[in-house]
Amino acid sequence: MLLVNVATWALILYLVGALLVGGALGFYLSQRYFKKYLRENPPVNENMIRAMMMQMGRKPSEKQVRQVMQSMQNAK
């Protein structure tokens, strides 16, 4: 009776420990992946839009830049 009870508690402790380790490892790996993704693909900002328009041969006004930013935010 006592041996079965100890085995049951050991199983429960192993399961809880595995869940905690798995959760911490999953959090760490997902955080690392997300930081890498943002480093490789930074979010678009106004300076990037200005640079893109200048490369296309246009001198963007502030209004045009804000319109593009607004349209990108609305498209999400």
CA gap 62, 50 in Å, rounded = 9
Q: How confident is the model over 42-48, as a mean pLDDT?
A: 89
Q: How confident is the model over 22-33, as a mean pLDDT?
A: 98
Q: Of 25, 64, 69, 19, which is closest to residue 43 (Cα–Cα)? A: 69
Give the global pTM.
0.61
Say what the pLDDT of residue 38 is.
93
Say what the pLDDT of residue 42 is.
86
Domain ranges of the chain: 1-42, 44-76
Q: Of 76, 55, 74, 56, which is closest to residue 66 (Cα–Cα)? A: 74
Say what the pLDDT of residue 12 is.
93
Q: Is the pLDDT of residue 26 over 60?
A: yes
CB-CB contact of 28 with 21 (8 Å): no
